[in-house]
Amino acid sequence: MTPETTGTTPAGSTAVGSTEQHIETTERYAAHNYHPLPVVIASGEGAWVTDVEGKRYLDCLAGYSALNFGHSHPQLVERARQQLGTLTLTSRAFFNDQLGPFSQVLAELTGKDMVLPMNSGAEAVETALKVSRRWGYEVKNVPEDQANIIVMEGNFHGRTTTIISFSDDKVAHDNYGPYTPGFRTVRYGDIDSVRAAMDDFTVAVLFEPIQGEGGVVVPPEGFLRDLRDLCSEQNVLMVADEIQSGLARTGTTFACDLEEVVPDMYILGKALGGGLYPVSAVAANTDVLGVITPGSHGSTFGGNPLAAAIGHEVCRLLATGEYQDRARRLGERLLAGLEPLVGKGLDEVRVRGLWAGLDVTPGGPTGRELCERLMERGILAKDTHGMTIRLAPPLVITEDEVDQIVAAVTESLSA
């Protein structure tokens, strides 16, 4: 074990009890909607976390990209601390002094006229669906209750009843019916499939520029540009779920930037809260978001002063371009290290910025087993769909830490 992956529990840690005790208590009293690796994290700083036994790990999941800026980023923590002692919640029944400045910088970051803040990513997706349908009825003049929205195979947009209605993941979907109608599923990355599904009542195409939960699945080159052209031609909203792929993860501010495409609506979350607080939003121009009127949509906590203050600070970090550049440069290093493993335990490696999907060769370890081997080597990662693991370290990692990831994957495949 390298010095970076060992240590003691930091001073001030509130962790009490062994790993086994914490796992036993959690399994006893918390619903079993996750299957975590057997590690109990007590603290984090930068790209590293420390468990209750004092062992350190390089966090290569980063809260599904919610922690793009690392754990306990000092600038974000200080801004949150300031706001915590000033004002945290008013509800949108009143104005507050943080929402306006946050909305302005986020609108400027996205290049859109306005934003609608929410809390979780799923709430932002639900907001985008509602806005799309209302726009369809009030602007496109689709007949009442006839609007349809096109979605992609392999999608993951959250776990509300409406969202899982158009999921083809049986674990997320099955036994939650009756399901919400009005969605048409097409092949991801296939523009002809999208075109064939469109009709006069189609109001939006909802898509992930890169499918994160699917295993960092990248569409064919040119698909996003073709989709942009088709949506413009057919007067259909192009709605990009950038909750995981956005905010510097792929080496650009948004994954759509990789093909120089601007959607009609961005859906944002995860990293927008800096890993400190749930913050999400949709961003669009007035001709789209203007359909929302007082009382037609809302949230008790959406746009609260604490969320707005943190989100504002996140936008400031992104405005420097530093994190986009780091993701691009270090992603190139990660790809160079992982590509030689194709044919040596991996069937395929997909990397965009500091985001990687590794397909494990059948006959070797499963995705879960590979993650367990990585954990033994001080690396925390997550499997998906059985034989794929995802790597998404915080964008604050160093070149040496990228090399540690590559070395651990190499050793784990040959163990």
pLDDT in tens, 399-408: 999 999 999 9
Which top CATH class is 3-59+322-414? Answer: alpha beta
Kindly report the pTM of this predicted structure: 0.95
pLDDT in tens, 32-82: 999 999 999 999 999 999 999 999 999 999 999 999 999 999 999 999 999
Tokens standing for 241?
């779920």
How many residues can be counted in the chain? 415
Alpha helix (H) residue ranges in 113-188: 121-138, 161-165, 170-173
At position 57, the amino acid (one-letter code) is Y
Identical fold for domains 3-59+322-414 and 74-319, yes or no, is no
Tell me what the mean pLDDT of segment 228-234 comes to: 98
Mean pLDDT of the chain: 96
Asked if the model's pLDDT at residue 230 lies above 50, the reply is yes
Residues contacting 278, CB < 8 A, separation 6+: 119, 120, 269, 307
415 pLDDT tier (thresholds 50, 70, 90): confident
Asked if the model's pLDDT at residue 186 lies above 90, the reply is yes
Tell me what the mean pLDDT of segment 309-315 comes to: 98
C-alpha 67/C-alpha 410 separation (Å) is: 25
17 pLDDT tier (thresholds 50, 70, 90): confident
Tell me what the mean pLDDT of segment 202-208 comes to: 99
Tell me what the mean pLDDT of segment 312-328 comes to: 98
Query: How do strand 265-268 and strand 237-241 relate by DSSP bridges?
Result: parallel
Residues marked as catalytic: 156, 241, 270
Answer with the residue of higher pLDDT: 10 or 128: 128
Asked if the model's pLDDT at residue 14 lies above 90, the reply is no
pLDDT of residue 15: 54
Q: What residue spans define the domains of the chain?
A: 3-59+322-414, 74-319
pLDDT in tens, 78-113: 999 999 999 999 999 999 999 999 999 999 999 999
Is the sign of the CA dihedral 313, 131, 113, 65 positive or negative?
positive
- Give the fold, CATH level 3, of 74-319: Aspartate Aminotransferase; domain 2 (3.40.640)
DSSP labels, 302-343 = TT-HHHHHHHHHHHHHHHT-HHHHHHHHHHHHHHHHHGGGBT
